[in-house]
Amino acid sequence: MDDKNHDQPLSFREMLQSVLAAAFGVQSGKNHSRDFSRGKPSHFIILGVLFTVVFVLVLYGLVRLVLHFAGL
């Protein structure tokens, strides 16, 4: 981690990568430490909730699509 980035808040891309990695259980220790030192909990909560809603809607859509093509 660069010293110049140590005090800056996380970018949207960094937060999104962290939320996705955490959702799939592959978050590295380095990024985990970075998130806790530079990230705001509220941002991670909001992104986590949004990710969960999108994930559920995608699954729902896929199930509906499969059922439609199966004729049910």
pLDDT at position 1 over 60: no
pLDDT per residue as tens digits for the range 13-68? 999 999 999 888 898 889 889 888 998 889 999 999 999 999 999 999 999 999 99
The ranges assigned to domains in the chain are 12-70
Nearest to 36 by CA among 27, 49, 46: 27
Q: Which H or E run includes 8?
A: none
pTM recorded for the entire structure: 0.76
Q: Which H or E run includes 7?
A: none
Task: Label residue 2 by pLDDT band (50, 70, 90).
Answer: low
Torsion of CA 40, 43, 45, 49, to 10 degrees: -170
